[in-house]
A and B are shown apart, each in its own frame.
Chain A
Amino acid sequence: MTMDMISAILVSGLVLGSVYALMASGLSLVWTTLGIFNFAHGSLMALGAYFAWTMTDAAGLNLWLGAGVAIAVAGMVGVGILIERTVIRPFYDDKDILLITVMTTLAVMIFLEKGIQFMWGARLKQLEPLVPGQVNLIGTTISAQEALIIVLAPLLLGALWAFLRYSNTGRGIRAVGQNPAAAKLIGVDVSKLFILTFALSAALAGLTGILLGSVRFITPTFGAEPLVKALIIVIFGGLGSLSGTIAAAYIIGVVEAALIFFVGIYWAPSMLFALLIAVLMLRPQGLFGKTVR
């Protein structure tokens, strides 16, 4: 193995891992807090990208890119809150909440996907990169936008992790997920935190979409593939642990990049899945999940 190969694999792996980590952490946050899987997470990612596209491109307002991004992210917060209110909140007390919300978030996914197509059409779109040009990273050339993702993702995720770990609200978020009634009894505003996490997670999804929207092409189903990956990562990393999720995202990113390199793109997905099954056979509680019981 030459240094070139190692560097190429590492760089690709980092790009993939960063994207996966951003996506998965939003999903993981909602899982941790509300105990549900948000299948609309991928569509939220697409929606964020389309918002930004409208802001920067179509609106023709010649907005500064950053402002467009900020407005798009704010829009996502609103959408997140709306979703929580309409399709999650009514089912809090249902003991089948997991299954019911699988359904309702699937419905939201369909709604958003088709709604996006209705609003913006089906043709491919692309965002202007936040930073133009190319960068050479340890011997491998990538677009500056991808480099930005590599740099930005750990910062964002680190901030999120520190927020959950050390801020009072952040700890509250973790507590709520494990036992809402007990959380109430120590003075946590459960309802507020539910909304907060959903808004945060939607914003993360939107931001991922915006970052990725200038590397890949935006379509109404643009979030589907990252969603599936994120779902796998959240489970694989050990449910309910953000650090596990993030670590799993980077590991899977690098492993995927390596697989692409060594067995080719064609068999890489299958190999990855086979690998996942194998690891789960050995560690039934996920990669970083602690033993249950």
Chain B
Amino acid sequence: QDKVAKIGVLAPMTGGAAADGNEMVNGARLAVEEINAAGGIAGYTFEVVVGDTQDQAADTVTSAFERLAGDRDVNVMMTGYASGSNFEIELMAEQEMPYIISANAAQTRDIIAPSPDDFPTVWSISPSYDAYETAMVPVIQQLLDGGALELPNKKVALISSDNPYSKTIMEGLQKNFEEAGWEVTSADLLPFGEINDWRAFLAGVRQAAPSIIINTDYLPGNAATFMTQFLEQPTDSLVFIQYAPSVPEFLDLTKDRATGVVYNMLGGVLDTPQNPRAAEVVGKYEAKYGAAPGVYGPALYEQVYLYADALAKVGDPTDRLAIGQAIGETEKQIAAGMLRFDPETHLAVQGEDAIPIQFFQIWDGKRELFYPARYATEEFQTPPWMK
């Protein structure tokens, strides 16, 4: 029982993204403690070692990787995200290191899809982000058809910050809206980073009076500022914000100002009676750390369990290829839904029966899931600022 299998967690522990990093490590530690308390796996107890990716610069990520890789007992690595480009996937592949990653699915796919066999040990528990671009129009149409939502016109204003995630989504949305016969009144790009002044954009919005405003910038601080400034002189529009409202502090920061905001989530926690796993994970996390987790706590928690399952199957942590293969064969209900991997892209499979895209509306400080209907916890309501 003395054998140790170390789990390398790449996470930004310092710098701007440290809040995410802490959550990743917390999630991983939570799972490791549980597993160890239950006697470990295949004669191994787990231990988390952290590689600080700081500001995700290439050299610090590589240093963190090398440091972890240099430890003989580290035979798996996992992360929420380690770099903006996911370039470390190649380093992992060179060493046949099992690597479970969560965010930046588009980059993961771009690297892996051309030759998936070169990356037998790398797997992304996030599904393809395509649904972010395609699901929106049908969902809104459904709301309109069902009478839950009434909109004065078919105009939409888009805004994004200049990062691949937000920009790709915005461009995809623009295309889909236009194809569905909507008028896109603006599709502005802002620099990536802290934005303190949305007023110039909002001024334009007031002129065009679109019935939907979509902000794909994902930074919670920016989103909170956006809401505050929007509500200074609100227009009669549905407000959708990408990702940010899922981050715990968004609610603390905006309080009741967030009521009515809509967002969606792929690979987030699927917290619904049909998926009790989610409530369980979130509950454990809250119990231990005293705060609700965002995406990455549960993600890393599940990643550790994926590895544990694979190790239980293979028995030998140093047989990395076998471990990698075992992970790829996973089929399991996790906090985000039903996890299976697509062998072509090594991403989690997306869909209502797999990892679904979920639409939420914030109401009185709570996130209410209103789509897909089979998981819904609450009906969509007209936001308070709309007539």
Contacts and interface: CB of A to CB of B under 8 A. Distances in A.
Direct contact of A and B (CB under 8 A): yes
Contacts of A12: 197, 199
Contacts of B189: 266
B188 A264 contact: yes
Contacts of B17: 122
Given A122-B19, A266-B189, A216 B196 contact: yes
Given A8-B199, A12-B199, A225 B22 contact: no
A126 interface: yes
Given A12-B199, A123-B249, A124-B253, A219 B221 contact: yes
Contacts, number: 69
A261 B191 contact: no
Interface residues of A, number: 30
Interface in A59-101: none
B232 A8 contact: no
B245 to A, nearest CB: 13
Contacts of B203: 4-5, 8
Contacts of B18: 117, 122, 220
B22 A122 contact: yes
Given A143-B232, A216-B225, A266 B190 contact: yes
Given A121-B22, A124-B253, A265 B232 contact: no
Given A114-B14, A122-B22, A217 B232 contact: no
Interface in B221-268: 221, 224-225, 228, 232-233, 248-249, 253
Nearest to A114: B14
Nearest to B17: A122
A221 interface: yes
A123 B195 contact: no
A141 interface: yes
B162 interface: yes
A265 B19 contact: no
Interface in A193-226: 215-217, 219-221, 225
B16 interface: yes
A42 to B, nearest CB: 13
Given A141-B232, A216-B225, A265-B190, A260 B197 contact: yes
A270 to B, nearest CB: 9
Nearest to B202: A8
B17 to A, nearest CB: 8
Contact of A269 (B191, B199, B225, B249): B191
B220 interface: yes
B200 interface: yes
Interface in A254-269: 257, 260-261, 264-266, 269
B191 A126 contact: no
Contacts of B21: 122
A134 interface: yes
B235 to A, nearest CB: 13
Contacts of B200: 8, 260-261, 264-265
B118 interface: no
Given A217-B221, A221-B16, A266 B191 contact: yes
Given A124-B220, A124-B221, A265 B197 contact: yes
A4 B224 CA distance: 25
B194 A225 contact: yes
Contacts of A8: 199-200, 203
Interface in A1-39: 4-5, 8, 12
A74 B238 CA distance: 45
Nearest to A261: B200
B14 A117 contact: yes
Nearest to B20: A122
Contact of A143 (B14, B197, B228, B249): B228
B138 to A, nearest CB: 31
B212 to A, nearest CB: 21
Interface string B21-40: 11000000000000000000
A142 interface: yes
Contacts of B249: 123-125
Contacts of A215: 196
Contacts of A220: 18
A264 B196 CA distance: 13
Contacts of A269: 191
Interface of B: 14-19, 21-22, 162, 188-191, 194-197, 199-201, 203, 220-221, 224-225, 228, 232-233, 248-249, 253
Top 8 closest A-B pairs, CB basis? A122-B18, A122-B19, A217-B221, A123-B19, A141-B232, A265-B190, A124-B249, A260-B200
21 contacts: A8-B199, A12-B197, A121-B19, A122-B19, A123-B248, A123-B249, A124-B249, A126-B224, A141-B232, A215-B196, A216-B221, A216-B225, A217-B225, A220-B18, A260-B197, A260-B200, A265-B190, A265-B191, A266-B188, A266-B191, A269-B191
